[in-house]
Amino acid sequence: MPSLIVLHYTAMADPDEALNRLCAAEHEVSAHYLIHRDGRLFQMVQEDMRAWHAGAGTWGGMDDINSRSIGIEMDNDGASPFSEPQMSTLETVLPEIMQRWNIAPEGIIGHSDMAPGRKADPGPRFDWARLARQGLVARSGTSEPIDDLAIETFRSCAAKLGYPTDIDDTALLTAVRLRHRPWGNGPLSKEDFAALPKVSHFLV
């Protein structure tokens, strides 16, 4: 019973090669969907079946994310902007999946969210804000004001959002920034706290 949707990029220059890889058993990697840069949607695994897309990681205290999620691969090399047709297809398919499985916007995460330090996709070029404006994902920058800017407070806030707690401070800050403040750099700052979304009862 999926409660999460995990977004990825293929990190491959050739979309046909990416599709072949996701369909070849010897590579031991799969996803429920692949969205081509031209907007075409490929379904490779039925939504009620387990796909091998997430690997090791946790979210909201849950492990074995492959058994709890639907994986969507975006045809992207990891450095280029995501195409308009591709984002349009994602905006169409996401709400359909969310409705079928009663998945809340807070349950739409990136691979980097559940596997900080190990994965960086869908990367800093992915337009989370565009999805947030349509209510499809948690909106950044909506947290309550926080006066205590210590790293321990940041870790606590991130854990309440769902981030793993068994990682170092740098990996956690990088993962949160990839999702909510991809232009951020340097040490932890008040801007990082301000970029956090409001903690949802979904994960509390």
User: CA angle 131-51-44, nearest 5°?
Assistant: 80
- Helix-helix angle 169-180:151-161, to 10 degrees: 60
Query: Which tokens is 26 given?
Result: 């010897």
The token duo for 11 is 């990190």
Q: Is 73 one of the catalytic residues?
A: yes
Q: Exactly one of 28, 73, 96, 106 is catalytic; which is it?
A: 73
The CA distance from 55 to 180, in Å, is 23
What is each CA distance from 54 to 47, 66, 116, 150, in whole angstroms? 15, 6, 12, 31
CA of residue 43 relative to chain centroid, distance: 19
- Order of all β-strands in the sheet with 41-43: 41-43, 33-35, 69-74, 4-9, 108-110
Q: Catalogue the active-site residues.
A: 73
